[in-house]
Structure 1
């Protein structure tokens, strides 16, 4: 019992001097999986790709996560990411898809992804409640144009003072350069900053390595650790602040 009480108190002590909050976007505020699925349903239907949609998602989602890991680790390019995740999915599904079709779908996906803008429950309420009390920013590993379209189309652009994307900084979270760039841009010290994100490696460990406070958003309840506070719903964030 003493350990639990200590951890609870410590969480609140850490957050006392926060002035700037940096949010991740995808899987944290913006419901990537839902919006991505709706985008694929649109483009696969319009292009008359003969594939079972549910099965397509079942195969594609883990492949996409793996290729994003490779991209984050600088092992593949943006172009390779966009092509290979679809190519591998179609091969596993034994769907005869030409390079032209794959490249076309890859472009269509990026074009239409920001057409769907479902946010996670409590996103707007959270930003409303924090805006004005803290300076809010975004740090994302996504591509500049795509991420900005998502943020604007989902109606949350005006909440943020700075939007830092990996494409512009030329490194990706958890590389310390992107966090240092964000701190310099916001003119804030690490101890007065808070990173809120879903990725244990990119967001949480990346921030903690620079002494930036962190809250781990684990909406799917996949993680247990003592590195920082974990929330299972966005409404819990305000309780920690």
Structure 2
């Protein structure tokens, strides 16, 4: 009887065109990830200065491509410097780090959902690696995942053809607005000369405005942290594909 009811409901959905899926959430329904987190100390170590690795990641049922993207981004953040080799796995990264770590060293990797809207899942990834010295090495990354296409979007996927230069011109204007809003040139007249505008790979289709995130020490001193520039979507008309404007992808 239960199977008959499910079959009848499915037939009704097909006839009325009112159901996206009987068994999967619609594009307006956020996906619920499974969180996996662990923290391990250097084997055999005791005390407050024991080296540690802390990993906090996510996985999504029925979205294997998103799970793969999360894992790959975390492994990229785990590189020992921009030119360092990518670890084979999170487990091998942990083992290698702890085997060579000195007292006080630590490494953190995290993936979290920043937003979900219009069939998009925006994942923000972060890292922090401390191996002595005054500062550690923080890192950031974004994933813009299109649930319809079942893949991560590149900047070229998001932009209309031939609009990349216009996009970065618009980003430069957002950078100017950020300088004014934070009164950075008032505080330091040579700020723009010392910290000029740069492009960034960290772009997120966040709901209120498109977000550009910058690595530490890129367009501002270390004390500023990870700067974020915001570009209102109306300024991206004719630059970003219309279906990636909030409210148009439902």
Tell me the TM-score normalized by structure 1: 0.26
Tell me the TM-score normalized by structure 2: 0.25
Bigger relative contact order (CA 8 A; separation at least 6): 1
